Amino acid sequence: MTTPREGQLQKLLQAEEGQNGSGWPVVQPLENHSTLFCCPWIVCVPLPALAAFYLMNFSIAALAFLLIFGCIICGLPICCVRLWILTWSFRPFRWPTDLYEKLLYLAHLLSIAGRPIPVAGPEFMPVSGLLPPEDLKKGFLDFALFLQVPFADQDEWGLSDEPTNIERYMSILPASEHFETFEKDESPIEFVMKQLSAIYPSIYQEWPDKLSDKALVRFCLHGLGAHRLDVEHRDGQKYWVVKTNALAGLPVLEGFERYGGDVYFDEAWNPVMILDNGLGPHRDDGVTETVVVRPNEGEKWERAKFRFRSSLFALVTLVDHLYDIHLQRANLFVTALREQMNVDHPIRRFMAPFTYRTIGVNDNAFHNLIRKGGLGPRCFALTEQGFGLALAAAPSLVNGAEAEAKKGGPILFRPEYVAYLKKKGIDTEYWRQSLELYEIFHRFVQGYLACYYPKKEDLANDPEMKAMVRQYFYQLEMASPSMLGRPGPNVFEANTTTVEDTYAFYSQWLAQIMLYVTAGHEQAGAVEVYAQDVSWTAFRWVPGQRCGTKQTATATALLMSFTNLPMPKLLGGDWTHLFPSPKTGDPKGIFKTFQEELLKMADTCDAYNASATTRPFPECFPMYVNNPRLLELSVSL
């Protein structure tokens, strides 16, 4: 027996069911299913089938004729080129490598032939060459989540570093491993320079000592590891440390060793040990086998140092250079700038030189470096899955991401990050120079903004500026955001609550972008001195060796050459022709002051390097990468 309330509910459900309908009725399988494809007209099928048969034969014959004709016309030249390239594998050239690397070398050699070195001025950066804002056509990267790169044909100033069709499709060529190693008295540097001198960039760093323990200190304090130096306390002792064991768990190709090695120094900068998680067997049960190597262990110690240096080279190249500087900072900034700001906007004009050729450069990286079968995966020991895992983990490995949220992380701007490091006890020449350069950029930004935004609220309320900054931080991957939902860190909203906060945030952000694409790129990407010597640093090596293979030497040097196109210099150029008419003040005078400050810092850096040998250890080494005299305005590849 139903209650009155239950009866009302049943009537309500019936009424709703009648209003909304019930869909198509259920139908049982047909009983005469065997007749479905046996209609009477089936007897007519052979006639059109016979016609299709003769048409197919005619098409095959025509295609065969065209193929034979094509082979007659093109076969001899192709065979000649292929045989010529094959001879590179024999003495005196001795290129034990793939067809891919050889073709890429030829493509790059042809692309740079006769190319002038650009200068920051009207000749290479005309105002008329700026393009109006639009949604840029982009492609998704093979290995990175939610990262898109605009195509090169949309670059400004009539520039189009678009990869050639040969470069675009070379990734389909098979990859094979050549494990030929260097003899004990054979120089890897002479081997590489004999092959690639026509395209290899000049080297300004001097490293008379590379392999000693003292050189290891320089490598970590004033060299490639300077931006990754950290502090750790173990058993009541303070240690300086540079870590690469984050790569130790990644799978590698058969025949190569895994990456790994965290190097520890005592407070006086004496090397104490290397903890290597990559020397033991690769296990999937959660157990990590750490091998401890100390300076008194002879050849084992030399091998551990080589593994550490090479692992750091791979980590910096993948995470700091390709991922963070190119695909994150420079790529997301130029995309937001081009899509959100009008060509007459003062900030668009101000930042345009710092994005010179960036779209074309990153498109080349997209098609030739960071794609399946590209030069990047061919250079490293990682499997395809390992390469993808390395890039997926990259957001948590970049500088600033290591700071906990309760300590202000992730840290976005250089002053806050340097202050964070000082609290940890890290106060090095690299970070002092980096902060000095940032402050020069920041004063330049503030002086320029004052000429176009007399009131701070004018900048804070600028809709184009707001749209550009919002887009950049929305797309920025940092400190493990939820990739699927893509909320990312709520950086924009958290830092733009008041006019004062918004103005300060915008000016700091612009200065930080300028630092990233100049000195940041120089530290992570200007690695000519490292890439030419696989006995010092190698992207991959066979077990038991402390030198890369000959194929590795060629591929690494080719990657270095391919990623070092000349860009306009930061110091000495004049791009004030891009500045629109100011509302107040003198932006050209601001620029002159900016260049004077850069010159003063460059002289200070030169003096610091010249007096290196007079300083006590461990400060007795030069520091190159923050010197404005050596820096370029925008990222080369």
pLDDT digits (tens, 9 = 90+) for 411-462: 889 999 999 999 999 999 999 999 999 999 999 999 999 999 999 999 999 9
Q: Residue 42: what pLDDT?
A: 60
Closest to 559 measured CA to CA, from 531, 529, 526: 531
Q: Residue 374: what pLDDT?
A: 85
Q: Residue 104: what pLDDT?
A: 83
Q: Residue 83: what pLDDT?
A: 84
Q: pLDDT above 90 covers what percent of the chain?
A: 59
Owner of token pair 């407070």: 267
Instruction: Please give the order of strands across the beta sheet that includes 271-276.
Output: 230-234, 237-243, 262-265, 271-276, 291-293
Q: How confident is the model at residue 602 (pLDDT cuts 50, 70, 90)?
A: very high
The residue among 42 and 201 whose pLDDT is bigger is 201
Q: Is residue 538 within 8 Å of 555, Cβ to Cβ?
A: no
Q: Output the average pLDDT for the chain.
A: 88
pLDDT at residue 44 is higher than 80: no
Q: Is residue 130 within 8 Å of 73, Cβ to Cβ?
A: no
Helix axes 429-452, 499-515, angle to 10 degrees: 130
Enumerate the β-bridge partners of residue 262: 243, 275
Q: How confident is the model at residue 482 (pLDDT cuts 50, 70, 90)?
A: very low
Q: What is the CA radius of gyration of the chain?
A: 30
DSSP annotation of 632 reads B
Question: Residue 196 and residue 314: Cα distance in Å, rounded?
Answer: 21
Mark residue 155 as left, alpha or beta (left: phi above 0; alpha: psi -120 to 50; beta: remaining). beta
Q: Is residue 519 within 8 Å of 624, Cβ to Cβ?
A: no
pLDDT digits (tens, 9 = 90+) for 256-314: 999 999 999 999 999 999 999 999 877 777 788 899 999 999 999 999 999 999 999 99
Owner of token pair 């323990």: 213
Q: How confident is the model at residue 28 (pLDDT cuts 50, 70, 90)?
A: confident
Long-range contacts of residues 99-102, Cβ cutoff 8 Å, at least 24 apart? 99/173, 100/170, 100/171, 100/173, 100/175, 100/375, 100/378, 101/375, 101/378, 101/551, 101/554, 101/555, 101/558
98 to 101, 104, 256, 534, 547: CA distances (angstroms): 6, 10, 17, 18, 20
Q: Residue 479: what pLDDT?
A: 36
Helix (H, G, I), strand (E, B) or coil at 204: coil
Tell me the mean pLDDT in the region 607-636: 96
pLDDT at residue 117 is higher than 80: yes
Q: Residue 475: what pLDDT?
A: 84
Both structure tokens of 214: 């003292």
Tell me the mean pLDDT in the region 516-536: 95
Q: 269 exposed, middle or buried (CB, 10 Å; 0-12, 13-18, 19+)?
A: middle
pLDDT at residue 31 is higher than 80: no
Where would I find the H helices in 316-398? Answer: 331-340, 346-351, 358-368, 375-379, 384-393
Tell me the mean pLDDT in the region 139-156: 83
Which residues make Cβ contacts (< 8 Å) with residue 67, sequence separation at least 6?
none
Q: Residue 349: what pLDDT?
A: 97
Q: Residue 484: what pLDDT?
A: 46
pLDDT digits (tens, 9 = 90+) for 340-365: 999 999 999 999 999 999 998 888 88
Mind listing the domains of the chain with CATH numbers?
A: 91-203+303-614 (1.20.245.10), 213-302 (no CATH)
Q: Residue 71: what pLDDT?
A: 79
Q: What are phi and psi of 337, to 5 degrees?
A: -60, -45
Enumerate the β-bridge partners of residue 239: 232
Q: How confident is the model at residue 92 (pLDDT cuts 50, 70, 90)?
A: confident
For 236, what's the count of Cα atoms within 13 Å in the CB-facing half-sphere?
0
DSSP annotation of 252 reads B
Tell me the mean pLDDT in the region 109-116: 80
pLDDT at residue 102 is higher than 80: yes
> Omega of the bond prior to 618 within 30 degrees of 0, cis?
yes
Tell me the mean pLDDT in the region 106-133: 89
pLDDT at residue 154 is higher than 80: yes
Q: Residue 481: what pLDDT?
A: 43
pTM, two decimals, is 0.88
The alpha carbon torsion through 199, 623, 351, 402 (nearest 10 deg) reads 110
